Amino acid sequence: MRILAPICLFAYNRLSETKQTIESLKSNFLASESELFIFSDGPKNTHALLKVKEVRDYLRTVGGFKRVIIKESPTNKGLAKSIIDGVSELLKLYENIIVLEDDLKTTSNFLEFMNQSLSFYKNNKSIQSVSGYSLKIINKLSSSDIYFHQRAHSWSWATWSDRWSEDIFDKQKLKNELTKDALDSFKDNCGDDISEMLLNSINGINDSWYVRWAYDHFKNEKYAVYPYLSKVQNIGFSEQGTHCNGIDVNLIELDTLHETKFQFTKAATINNNIKKEFLIYFTRSYKLKFRLKLLKSFKGQKKIFLEIRNKFKNK
């Protein structure tokens, strides 16, 4: 009998995005056979109170899965604590888990890909996580449906109980062990933006759990598995987005084939050409060029204006 990984969904106060996330997930081939755990964070202020209530009222109507379990936090934990606590709770009960946030639309074969990846790499301890999301990689170099990278991604992912620990996210522990050489190497191998993001996370400037997870991959020479064709599209870049209220500069090639069988590669190695192509997305020059292209259209100009306005608003 095939045992499917439970799905862990984190929601807050965006009703429209949450609905789209759940409806697309419900359209997955394996939805009716999968358990769905929804962690609803509490409102951070009185302004968010009504929106959180609207989301929770909707969540109580959700069906289409083997079982739906809703866990409502009475207080606002914030994204990082919500995810660390929720994932830790479930991985004490389950061997593996699939994790989503409330602004991710999935393809119909997303759950197939994630479950097959979890099964295929179950005993390969060099693999720490599986990503359902993927950046567009043009130079595909093999017949495999996947590639590897040390920079994990947070826009849909999966892992195993023996590769997760709350200690990974201990800020004081990270402060004590980080060196300039380690940060420089992390940046060289995982992106121009990532070492600064890590420092900001452990110093409380941002609320990123993800960058500490990515650093754990890197320092232990572990890998994330990525599909060449992304099984996920991020719909969270809006004025209401708590963590994605800027401009999405990433290019993806969304999977429209609906295949349910995938070719995996046993040996986890990083191809230098793919690594270089992957890391371009995180360079300042790429991000600048992307925005300059947006200025050529009225719609793009509006996006730039909103991004600048939001940055000043959040200062």
Q: What per-residue confidence (pLDDT) applies to 312? A: 67
CATH code of the domain containing 97: 3.90.550.10
pLDDT band of residue 310 (cuts 50, 70, 90) is confident
Average pLDDT over every residue of 169-187: 97
Q: Determine the length of the chain.
A: 315
Does residue 307 fall inside a structural domain? no
Does the pLDDT value for residue 281 go beyond 70? Answer: yes
Does the pLDDT value for residue 243 go beyond 60? Answer: no
Q: What per-residue confidence (pLDDT) applies to 177? A: 95
Does the pLDDT value for residue 184 go beyond 70? Answer: yes
Task: Print the domain residue range for 166.
Answer: 7-282
Spell out the SS3 assignment of 183-208. HHHHHHHHCCCHHHHHHHHHCCCCCC
Domain count, the chain: 1
**How does pLDDT run across 46-77, given as a tens digit for each residue?**
999 999 999 999 999 999 999 999 999 999 99
Question: What's the predicted TM-score (pTM) here?
Answer: 0.94
Does residue 289 fall inside a structural domain? no
Does the pLDDT value for residue 212 go beyond 80? Answer: yes
Does the pLDDT value for residue 240 go beyond 60? Answer: no
Q: Is 95 helix (H, G, I), strand (E, B) or coil?
A: coil
Question: For the residues of 209-274, what is the DSSP string, one character each?
Answer: SHHHHHHHHHHTT-EEEEESSBSEEE---STT-SS--S-------B--S--------SS----HHH
Does residue 187 fall inside a structural domain? yes
Closest CA to 55 of 104, 22, 14: 14
Does the pLDDT value for residue 35 go beyond 90? Answer: yes
Does residue 115 fall inside a structural domain? yes
Does residue 290 fall inside a structural domain? no
Does the pLDDT value for residue 244 go beyond 90? Answer: no
pLDDT, mean over the chain: 94
Q: What is d(CA 254, CA 243) in angstroms, rounded to the nearest whole number?
A: 22
**How does pLDDT run across 81-94, given as a tens digit for each residue?**
999 999 999 999 99
Helix segments in 27-164, DSSP class H: 46-59, 79-91, 110-120
Does residue 313 fall inside a structural domain? no
Q: What is d(CA 146, CA 225) in angstroms, rounded to the nearest whole number?
A: 7
Q: What is d(CA 96, CA 182) in angstroms, rounded to the nearest whole number?
A: 30
Q: What per-residue confidence (pLDDT) applies to 186? A: 98
Q: What per-residue confidence (pLDDT) applies to 241? A: 46
pLDDT band of residue 304 (cuts 50, 70, 90) is confident
Does residue 12 fall inside a structural domain? yes
- The dihedrals phi and psi of 144, each to the nearest 5 degrees, come to -65, 155
pLDDT band of residue 314 (cuts 50, 70, 90) is low
Does the pLDDT value for residue 245 go beyond 60? Answer: no
Does residue 298 fall inside a structural domain? no
Does the pLDDT value for residue 187 go beyond 90? Answer: yes
- The dihedrals phi and psi of 238, each to the nearest 5 degrees, come to -145, 175
